[in-house]
Amino acid sequence: MSKVTIFNHPLIHHKLSIIRDENTNTKDFRQSVNEIANLMAFEATRNLPLKEVKTKTPISLATTYMLDCEVVIVPILRAGIGMVDGIHSLIPTAKVGHIGLYRNEETLEPVEYYCKLPKDCQEGQVIVVDPALATGGSASAAITLIKKRGFTRIKLLSLIAAPCGIEKVTTDHPDVKVYVAHVTEENLNEKGYMPKAFGDAGDRLFGTK
């Protein structure tokens, strides 16, 4: 699992407990999802390329560093939207694309209904975000769509993942680095959900549960 980073940070564990609690209200759920995404993004962006620039400080000229690539955040609708602000607060210049997929309740396979990505930045770093990586089908399909549009540098951030979901993405896309805050031990239920995760993240983020 060299392509997978599993976080082990006290603040992330604490906030994961909040979003897994069935009694957490919409406001606190949304805030905690954003905060976890922010903490994860700090590590996931560690190897972004930099360029030297000359900066005039109040006293003298200094050599400093700035990002040398575009960053594109791509949430998988609709739950992925809940992670965007946490990353955007770190990288305000990041562009945001959107991919809409829904899961066929009978086959559990993803079905595309929307895809809008920024143009003229295919050399940039794409960060795909989706709170739950269960079967891995939606994430894998989203990455395939992104690759078809010319993007090659792709990372995936998920809050909670099942082992089968991680295996699906890393098998289909061995070039993609996966970052997860927690990996569950149990199998998926008959509906393809992780019983010990947080339920339907979209419903809990937007108060539609």
Using CA atoms, how far apart are residues 152 and 146, in angstroms rounded to an integer? Answer: 8
Position 2 scores a pLDDT of: 59
Quote the mean pLDDT of the chain.
92
CA distances to 87, 140, 147, 190, 198 from 109, in Å? 28, 11, 19, 14, 21
Contacts by residues 97-106 (CB-CB < 8 Å, ≥ 24 positions apart): 97/72, 97/73, 97/126, 97/146, 98/74, 99/74, 99/75, 99/128, 99/142, 99/145, 99/146, 100/76, 101/76, 101/77, 101/138, 101/141, 101/142, 103/135, 103/137, 103/138, 103/192, 105/191
Position 13 scores a pLDDT of: 95
CA distances to 65, 89, 107, 176 from 170, in Å? 33, 28, 21, 7
Predicted confidence (pLDDT) per residue in 21-59, tens digit: 999 999 999 999 999 999 999 999 999 999 999 999 999
Could you tell me what percent of the chain has a pLDDT over 90?
Answer: 78
Predicted confidence (pLDDT) per residue in 92-132, tens digit: 999 999 999 887 777 767 888 999 999 889 999 999 999 99
pLDDT higher for 119 or 180?
180
Angle at 84 between CA 76 and CA 206, to 5 degrees: 75
Position 1 scores a pLDDT of: 47
Phi-psi region of 4 (alpha: psi -120 to 50; beta: other; left: phi over 0): beta
Position 159 scores a pLDDT of: 96
